[in-house]
């Protein structure tokens, strides 16, 4: 067995020990096809007011711009599907935001994996990313053989659906690439497209981000959510899981076992009025390490106002 094969196997075994459900490898190279698709998506204005999507274009499509001399892109999946449920009268919050902010949790695990590589294999240059840098995670996941991009533009797997985070570790270590995933298992199913209240899924795998409920409730920083969308929010206060909840592949989702993702009690149980009357001090105390802090209390209460206007 070659050194590259030994290193690849060792990294995948360590990733599993750290709690990652899957680990795949791809050669670090420019994503030419994705560059074309991204440019077309941006030209159509599907990023809405998410101007950050227009920045660092070259870094998004070439990992060597992020890590000079990069040879491999390690892609990892981490389950966040909960065993609990929100109370029926609680405003809906996307499942990924029920526990501790995943950026903290996953980044710590990526640091631990990189530390392992440096200690057990040798010193390498590398950087870990999870949804906070110009990286096309889903494209790397497909290239790494981990799944396919569904019609709702989420990464899907046959054994676990889509309720997982996608992280990448770009490094200058030569590894053995995985076989790319080449099969689309969505078939003729259009449940996600049919279920989207705002018609944000404009064609298979293409989402108009500026019409997505997650965009309105998280990314949009305007003082008000456009009134024509109030009756389409379907009770969502932060994010949206509709296109995932209806996906048949998510019947295979299994509850995670990550203590850091244990739901905050208030996420599951507070009603609209309690959220509406919450103070800044209470919000900071309860959600200081939560993804909910991204909108701040002001954003949460703006979203509640839109829900109450129905």
Active site residues: 131
Cα angle 35, 64, 210; round to 5? 35
Distance CA 98, CA 105 (A): 13
CA end-to-end span of the chain: 64
Q: Which two tokens stand for residue 93?
A: 């919050």
Distance CA 117, CA 36 (A): 34
Distance CA 146, CA 140 (A): 9
Cα angle 142, 213, 184; round to 5? 25
Q: Which two tokens stand for residue 142?
A: 């497909």
Q: Measuring CA to CA, which residue among 192, 206, 160, 179 is closest to residue 45?
A: 206
Distance CA 201, CA 194 (A): 9
């Amino acid at each position: 067995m070659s050194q590259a094969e030994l290193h690849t196997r060792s990294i995948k075994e360590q990733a599993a020990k750290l709690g990652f459900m899957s680990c795949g490898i791809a050669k670090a190279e420019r994503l030419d096809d994705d560059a074309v698709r991204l440019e077309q998506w941006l030209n159509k204005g599907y990023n809405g007011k998410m101007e950050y999507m227009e920045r660092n274009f070259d870094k998004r499509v070439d990992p060597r711009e992020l890590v000079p001399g990069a040879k491999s892109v390690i892609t990892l999946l981490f389950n966040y599907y909960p065993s609990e449920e929100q109370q029926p009268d609680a405003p809906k919050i996307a499942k990924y935001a029920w526990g501790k902010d995943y950026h903290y949790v996953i980044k710590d695990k990526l640091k631990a994996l990189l530390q392992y590589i440096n200690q057990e294999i040798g010193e390498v240059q590398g950087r870990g990313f999870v949804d906070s840098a110009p990286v096309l995670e889903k494209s790397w996941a497909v290239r790494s053989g981990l799944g396919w991009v569904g019609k709702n533009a989420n990464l899907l797997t046959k054994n676990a659906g889509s309720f997982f985070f996608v992280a990448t570790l770009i490094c200058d270590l030569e590894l053995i690439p995985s076989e790319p995933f080449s099969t689309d298992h969505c078939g003729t199913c259009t449940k996600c497209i049919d279920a989207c209240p705002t018609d944000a899924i404009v064609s298979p795998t293409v989402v108009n981000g500026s019409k997505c409920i997650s965009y309105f409730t998280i990314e949009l920083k305007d003082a008000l959510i456009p009134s024509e969308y109030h009756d389409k929010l379907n009770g969502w206060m932060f994010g949206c899981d509709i296109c995932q909840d209806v996906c048949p592949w998510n019947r295979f989702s299994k509850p995670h076992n990550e203590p850091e993702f244990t739901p905050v009690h208030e996420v599951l149980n507070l009603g609209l009025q309690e959220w509406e009357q919450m103070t800044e001090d209470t919000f900071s105390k309860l959600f200081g390490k939560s993804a909910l802090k991204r909108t701040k209390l002001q954003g949460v209460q703006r979203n509640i106002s839109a829900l109450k206007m129905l």
